[in-house]
């Protein structure tokens, strides 16, 4: 068994209406982005659950924080078990693009996932919920 999943996670008030008529007949739209006046127009952002990716706690550990994997690239020897821990409030996953790599369930805040790499190679992975998060594990013989 390649994977050792140690995931712990197993009335229409007229006064409040925003009205928008889309008239797209004028063919040459020009592609200008035009943000709609939204209820968030005057929004302040007093808090956000994102944090800077904290340093990993150990040599074979990856910390997930601030919507990033830290370290983003990890090199381990074949047979090594790597542990990912989610330090964000948002859930994340560790999902390898290739078969034979790690594929975690959703990791909620504080949850961990372990995977033992039994074959050498380069494994790239993403978070399926936030696919702009990328990580790599290089497994040496």
Which residues in this chain contact other proteins in the complex, by CB under 8 A? 11-50, 52, 66-67, 88-91, 93, 95, 97, 103-106, 108, 126, 128-132, 134
Residue with Cβ nearer other proteins (29 or 141): 29
Residue with Cβ nearer other proteins (22 or 58): 22
Task: Check if the beta carbon of residue 127 is closer than 8 Å to that of residue 133.
Answer: yes
Residue with Cβ nearer other proteins (113 or 117): 113
Sign of the alpha-carbon dihedral angle for 125, 93, 86, 91:
positive
Residue with Cβ nearer other proteins (4 or 140): 4
Q: Rounded to the nearest whole angstrom, what is the least distance from the CB of residue 6 to other proteins in the complex?
A: 15
CB atoms within 10 A of CB 6: 14
Residue with Cβ nearer other proteins (67 or 76): 67
Q: Rounded to the nearest whole angstrom, what is the least distance from the CB of residue 130 to other proteins in the complex?
A: 6
Task: Check if the beta carbon of residue 50 is closer than 8 Å to that of residue 67.
Answer: yes
Q: Rounded to the nearest whole angstrom, what is the least distance from the CB of residue 16 to other proteins in the complex?
A: 4
Q: Rounded to the nearest whole angstrom, what is the least distance from the CB of residue 79 to other proteins in the complex?
A: 25
CA distance 111 to 85: 6
CA distance 134 to 126: 5
Q: Rounded to the nearest whole angstrom, what is the least distance from the CB of residue 90 to other proteins in the complex?
A: 6
CA distance 38 to 105: 35
Starting from the edge strand earliest in sequence, which strands make up the sheet with 121-126, in order? 73-77, 134-140, 121-126, 95-96
């Amino acid at each position: 068994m390649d994977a050792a999943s140690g995931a712990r996670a197993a009335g229409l008030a007229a006064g409040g209406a925003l009205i928008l008529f889309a008239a797209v007949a004028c063919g040459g739209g020009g592609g200008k982005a035009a943000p709609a006046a939204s209820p968030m127009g005057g929004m302040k952002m007093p808090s956000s659950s994102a944090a800077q990716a904290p340093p990993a706690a150990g040599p074979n550990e990856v910390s997930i924080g601030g919507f990033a994997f830290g370290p983003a690239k990890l090199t381990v020897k074949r047979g090594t078990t790597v542990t990912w821990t989610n330090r964000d409030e948002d859930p994340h996953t560790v999902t390898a693009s290739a078969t034979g790599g790690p594929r975690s369930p959703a990791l909620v805040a504080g949850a961990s996932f372990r995977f033992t790499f039994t074959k050498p190679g380069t494994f790239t992975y993403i978070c399926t919920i936030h696919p702009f998060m990328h990580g790599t594990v290089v497994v040496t013989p």
